[in-house]
Structure 1
Amino acid sequence: MWDSVRLPVATKQRLLELFVLGVPSYRQRFRSDASAAARERFYRLLRACCAQAEQLREPFEGAIECDETTFGGARHGPRGWGALGKVIVFGLIKRNGRVKAMPIPRHDRLSVMREIEAHTREGALYYTDEWQAYATLKLRGEHVMIRKEKGRPVGRDHINGIEGFWSYAKNWLYPYRGVPRQYFHLYLGEVCYRYNHRGEDLKPLIYKLLKQTSIQELMPTLVRKG
């Protein structure tokens, strides 16, 4: 992938470093070493490499927190899970460990359980809120349902880990001033990769992904999923 991008090596190195630092492409508009379209394409490939690496992550086991949220700016029209322009996202976090997050088509039991079955192993200990869609989790493993009063969990059990990730992800994406819906899964994959490697230097990690990954491998990730 690195060698297939037709930009000077120095330009690719600089763009990779700016990407790692979280500098959006539009903030580089006065640079003349690469066009806006070339920068966007390169950034898209970087995000696709991160997203693909996260898709290949092994299913979680042990103690896992599950939750859903929406991404997208406020708009006129319906509120809640059916709000216009919002993307519904489901996430799992292994206690004191890694996170997985993915867009889902609807806020319903079928969509959520499909992701849980794909990304966790049977016998796990699941922590969720009181949404009834999670009721069948007791058939896959242990299930702890968190009850809240005035927005705070009652008792010692919680899902603070995944809720903390939602805050991290939304703060990270805020400077992009809106994410194209067809590429949202790439941005989300990037955020998961950053979170899961938050104690490491990302530049050599992503450079290694670029050197090891071909465009053919990335095509299923680059194409927007349903």
Structure 2
Amino acid sequence: QQITIQPQVEVTTLPTTTVYTDESDAYNRIPDSGRERQTVCHSMREYARDDDGDGFYEVHCNTMEGIWVGLRNFLRPFRGIHKKYLYLYVAMFEWSYNLRWIDFDFLRRLLFPPSTYFPT
């Protein structure tokens, strides 16, 4: 029996989603649900691919792998977490990960739309 993540992909993504994966067989059925699958073949030492030649590597799975490394490093000091509370720790990590994009200018624009402040 083939192990697949197809049901989870269908529940958590939109039908128009492009899924970026490695060559694992667990992802083979993703296109069956109408979702596009782009792969890199780690066994052939391919880790990123520039499909259109513009110098930007469109196909890779490094971002998600990097997030998982960050989550593991975030959880390490807690030395074991009960699965009942894991979602709370993941939510806390997600909040802190997304917070890195918030700076003073973002907050100023959020709290004081252009019609309410005067440039300095």
> Which bracket does the TM-score occupy, shorter chain normalised?
0.5 to 0.7
Unpaired runs of 5+ residues, structure 1, are 1-107, 202-226
- Are residues 1:176 and 2:96 paired? no
Q: Is the 8 A contact 2:74 2:93 kept in 1?
A: yes
- Are residues 1:145 and 2:47 paired? no
Q: How many residues align?
A: 92
- If each structure's strand is expressed as a fraction of its own residues, which one has the higher value? 1
Q: Structure 1's 151 and 184: CA in aligned 2 closer, same or farther, altered over 3 A?
A: farther
Query: Residue 130 of structure 1: CA displacement?
Result: 1.3
Unpaired runs of 5+ residues, structure 2, are 51-58, 104-120
Match of 1:63 in 2: none
Q: Structure 1's 149 and 131: CA in aligned 2 closer, same or farther, altered over 3 A?
A: closer
Percent of paired sites with the same residue:
28
Find 1:131's aligned residue among 24, 27, 45. 24
Q: Structure 1's 149 and 135: CA in aligned 2 closer, same or farther, altered over 3 A?
A: closer
Higher alpha-carbon Rg: 2
RMSD: 2.3
Q: Is the 8 A contact 2:30 2:36 kept in 1?
A: yes
Q: Is the 8 A contact 2:19 2:36 kept in 1?
A: yes
TM-score scaled by length of structure 2: 0.63
Query: Residue 195 of structure 1: CA displacement?
Result: 1.8
Runs of 4 or more consecutive aligned structure 1 residues displaced over 4 Å after TM superposition: none
Amino acid at match of 1:145: T
TM-score scaled by length of structure 1: 0.36
Determine helix, strand or coil for the equivalent of 2:85. Answer: helix
Q: Is the 8 A contact 1:129 1:145 kept in 2?
A: yes
* Higher RCO (C-alpha 8 Å, min separation 6): 1
Matches within 5 A, 1:29-178: 108-109=3-4, 112-139=5-32, 140-149=34-43, 153=47, 155-156=49-50, 157-178=59-80
Q: Structure 1's 152 and 124: CA in aligned 2 closer, same or farther, altered over 3 A?
A: same
Query: Residue 154 of structure 1: CA displacement?
Result: 5.9
